[in-house]
């Protein structure tokens, strides 16, 4: 195995030479929460907020504690918390002062490690631990499970740089999530107004009538595919209830078949624009078919419009894709293990239908445009999520370095150059020779380099220049770049470029007004020392 220069082989793979492989317990303590008395719990906001497992992911049910408080269990913003039951994914707490309840743990760093870096670095090890933890009901995590994790740790400066880079991407994702949530609320409000006739679009005055979905279309069932017919190399995707998301068909993890069953029905071979409804589990979800070569599995239903002349299909889809429809299906669901709905539940759903199909289309177009805007934002967010995933893989393994490894200081052992005094007249003659040997307007790069070369020769000093001798004389591009940089920085000299007739570029240097300050200071110094 070839190990790149600057890297080393460890039990965790190849990592940079200046990284360490350590047990987390050597640099931190995993503090577990306190079993606060439930008799002091309340939902009225009295006391201090309590952090339980569910609070790491949701604010749906906030609990406060009004009893005695122990300072060592007070949590502040930016503390890194980990749920110890079920989901082990770490969390950066950002909801203010709270109390660390039992079965929730906090990372307490003992050295100069970056807590935010650990938040990112622990995600993959904890995911692996969660997947490898056997449990029939709920998976559990202990403090020793955390402290015994073996991890590669970069120097503290690089930890902070990695955490900052990943936090920036997280900020972009969070901003998009916030924007998406706002757009969804706007769309929900628009649907409540437009689909009930509370708000009419300009130019439409026809009456609306109450209909059932069964009056305008029919619910058709999918095909009962057998698992032994599935093939990874298959051409046709089998669409199940798991693929039917709210307003989106997700085909990333579809089973496939190589051939279409001979007894399959025509509607079970899906076409773009078909309306699908989930009938088991998360019932009432709806989406449109947006791709080809898809077959419909059982418990995913297809709603087919009978007469498009009386009913616009896109309008019916907005009805089926509404929150009201999903809620009604959830309420109708039956089953102990998981919810189920049937043909009668779907076709029996009532809604208001404009008589004018043009009004139906106009309403559907407005809502569809809002859907597209949301979808574009979601695509952008997913792009950033993918970017972050790639960044984490590269940064947390040292494949990409944000901080250069500090070079080892090695004594050069170079003797100091010998300097001998040169009469002023010699310098004047050297300048004159240079000026006469290269006739051009002003003082340019070539004259400057000839002067430096001649001065180095006359003084017998090695100035470190690497001249290339060409027809123009000594030429050191690196030197000139350095000089140009210094000129720009101190603003005493301007570099002027001029395109010559033969295509070459001529550079010349002209003094700026700031050079006068230098000349005045020089004259003052010479008078004071004379």
Cβ contacts of 158 within 8 Å, gap of 6 or more: 401, 402, 403
Beta bridge partners of 259: none
Contact 276/244 with Cβ under 8 angstroms?
A: yes
Alpha helices in 31-122 (DSSP H): 115-121
Name which residue leads in pLDDT, 246 or 213.
213
Q: Is the same domain home to 221 and 347?
A: yes
Q: Is the same domain home to 470 and 521?
A: yes
pLDDT of residue 103: 95
The gap between the terminal CA atoms of the chain, to the nearest Å, is 71
pLDDT of residue 130: 84
Comparing 245-259, 378-392, 424-438, 456-470, which segment has the lowest mean pLDDT?
A: 424-438
Indicate if the pLDDT at residue 454 is higher than 80: no
Q: What's the pLDDT band for 31 if we cut at 50, 70, 90? A: very high
Distance CA 211, CA 249 (A): 27
Q: Is the same domain home to 200 and 228?
A: no
CATH of the domain at 381: 1.10.287.1120
Q: What's the pLDDT band for 206 if we cut at 50, 70, 90? A: very high
Question: What is the DSSP secondary structure assignment for residue 247, as one 8-state letter?
Answer: T
Contact 328/321 with Cβ under 8 angstroms?
A: no
Q: Is the same domain home to 212 and 345?
A: yes
The pTM assigned to this predicted structure is 0.71
% of residues, the chain, pLDDT over 70: 80
Comparing 320-324, 416-420, 445-449, which segment has the lowest mean pLDDT?
A: 416-420
Distance CA 184, CA 374 (A): 7
Q: Is the same domain home to 134 and 174?
A: no
Name which residue leads in pLDDT, 407 or 400.
400
Work out the average pLDDT over 295-307.
96
Q: Is the same domain home to 344 and 250?
A: yes
pLDDT of residue 122: 97
Q: Is the same domain home to 315 and 346?
A: yes
Distance CA 245, CA 298 (A): 16
pLDDT of residue 418: 47
pLDDT of residue 336: 78
Q: Is the same domain home to 235 and 189?
A: no
pLDDT of residue 462: 59
In Å, how far from its chain's centre is CA 129?
24
Q: What's the pLDDT band for 398 if we cut at 50, 70, 90? A: very high
Question: Where does residue 169 rank: exposed (0-12), middle (13-18), buried (19+ CB within 10 A)?
Answer: middle
pLDDT of residue 427: 47
Q: What's the pLDDT band for 60 if we cut at 50, 70, 90? A: confident
Question: What is the DSSP secondary structure assignment for residue 55, as one 8-state letter?
Answer: G
| Tokens found for residue 117 | 């870096």
pLDDT of residue 15: 96
Residue range 86-119, pLDDT digits in tens:
889 999 999 999 999 999 999 999 989 999 999 9
Quick check: is 418 in a domain? no
| Tokens found for residue 468 | 């290339």
Alpha helices in 234-333 (DSSP H): 313-320, 323-332
Quick check: is 199 in a domain? yes
| Domain carrying residue 519 | 424-529
Q: Which residues of 428-443 are buried (b: 16+ CB within 10 A; e: fewer)?
A: eebeeebeeeeeeeeb
Quick check: is 4 in a domain? no
Q: Is the same domain home to 226 and 180?
A: no
Distance CA 63, CA 82 (A): 18
CATH of the domain at 454: 1.10.10
Indicate if the pLDDT at residue 323 is higher than 60: yes
Handedness of CA 40, 45, 49, 51 (dihedral sign): positive
Q: Is the same domain home to 202 and 245?
A: no
The count of domains in the chain is: 4
């Amino acid at each position: 195995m070839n190990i790149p220069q600057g890297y080393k082989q460890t039990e965790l793979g190849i990592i940079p030479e200046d990284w360490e492989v350590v047990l987390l317990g050597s640099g931190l303590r995993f503090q577990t929460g306190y079993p606060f008395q439930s008799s002091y719990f309340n939902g009225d906001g009295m006391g201090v907020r309590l952090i339980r497992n569910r609070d790491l992911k949701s604010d749906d049910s906030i609990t406060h504690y009004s009893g005695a408080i122990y300072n060592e269990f007070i949590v502040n913003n930016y503390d890194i918390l980990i749920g110890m039951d079920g989901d082990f994914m770490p969390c950066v707490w950002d909801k203010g002062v709270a109390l660390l309840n039992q079965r929730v743990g906090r990372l307490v760093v003992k050295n100069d490690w970056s807590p935010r870096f650990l938040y990112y670095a622990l995600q993959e090890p904890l995911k692996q631990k969660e997947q490898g933890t056997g449990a029939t009901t709920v998976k559990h995590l202990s403090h020793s499970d955390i402290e015994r994790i073996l991890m590669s740790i970069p120097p503290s400066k690089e930890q902070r740089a990695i955490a900052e880079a990943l936090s920036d991407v997280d900020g972009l994702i969070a901003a998009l999530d916030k924007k998406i949530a706002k757009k969804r609320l706007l769309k929900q409000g628009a649907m409540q107004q437009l689909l009930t006739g509370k708000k009419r679009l300009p130019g439409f005055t026809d009456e609306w009538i109450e209909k059932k979905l069964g009056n305008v279309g029919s619910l058709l069932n999918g095909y009962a595919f057998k698992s032994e017919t599935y093939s990874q190399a298959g051409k046709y995707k089998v669409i199940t209830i798991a693929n039917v998301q709210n307003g989106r068909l997700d085909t990333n993890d579809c089973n496939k078949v190589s051939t279409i069953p001979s007894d399959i029905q025509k509607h079970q071979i899906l076409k773009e624009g078909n309306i699908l409804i989930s009938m088991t589990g998360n019932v009432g979800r709806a989406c449109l078919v947006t791709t080809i070569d898809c077959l419909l599995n059982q418990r995913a239903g297809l709603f087919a419009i009978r007469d498009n002349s009386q009913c616009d299909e896109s309008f019916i889809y907005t009805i089926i894709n509404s929150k009201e429809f999903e809620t009604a299906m959830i309420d109708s669901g039956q089953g102990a293990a998981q919810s189920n709905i049937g043909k009668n539940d779907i076709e029996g759903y009532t809604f208001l239908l404009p008589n004018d199909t043009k009004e139906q289309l106009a309403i559907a177009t407005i809502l569809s445009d809002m859907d597209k805007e949301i979808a574009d934002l979601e695509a952008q967010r997913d792009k950033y999520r993918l970017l972050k995933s790639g960044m984490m893989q590269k940064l947390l393994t040292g494949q990409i370095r944000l901080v250069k490894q500090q070079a080892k200081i090695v004594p050069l052992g170079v003797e100091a150059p010998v300097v001998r005094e040169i009469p002023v007249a010699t310098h004047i003659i050297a300048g004159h020779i240079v000026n006469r040997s290269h006739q051009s307007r002003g003082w340019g790069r070539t004259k400057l380099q000839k002067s430096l070369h001649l001065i180095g020769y006359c003084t017998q000093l090695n100035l470190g220049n690497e001249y290339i001798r060409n027809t123009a004389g000594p030429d050191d591009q690196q030197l000139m770049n350095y000089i140009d940089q210094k000129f720009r920085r101190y603003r005493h000299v301007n570099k002027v470029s001029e395109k010559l007739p033969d295509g070459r570029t001529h550079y010349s240097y002209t003094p700026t007004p700031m050079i006068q300050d230098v000349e005045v200071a020089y004259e003052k110094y010479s008078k004071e020392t004379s």
